[in-house]
Amino acid sequence: MSTESISDRREHIRSVSVTAMSALLGVGAALASTTWVGTTAEAAQNTQALAFVLGAILLQYVVINAAGIYGDEFGAKHYLFVAFMTFSLWFVTWGILLTAEVTG
């Protein structure tokens, strides 16, 4: 019974770590996109901003694999989760920053 609670706790900490890293790097990529392309109406159409979110996603894959957070069980589902979370947080944050500057 005690080994199940330890492994459950370890799994929970691992999941929270990956989710937090995805969220923080998504917001960081949005801030970098805003700094690089600006916050004008033309900046919203600039595709260079996507480079930051793609870089953040790739950076996470490298960090997760190097740190051995998941070991050998890091599969397609995990890659998709990291990409989705990072892109979602980037999209929402960058959209808020663009909207606030264009209308303000």
Mean pLDDT by 10 residues, the chain (104 residues): 67 87 94 90 86 94 81 79 95 92 58
pLDDT value of residue 79: 87
pLDDT value of residue 78: 86
pLDDT value of residue 72: 66
The CA distance from 87 to 56, in Å, is 9
pLDDT value of residue 5: 66
The CA distance from 56 to 86, in Å, is 7
DSSP H helical ranges for 38-75:
49-67
pLDDT value of residue 19: 92
38: left (phi over 0), alpha (psi -120 to 50) or beta: left
Predicted structure pTM score? 0.83
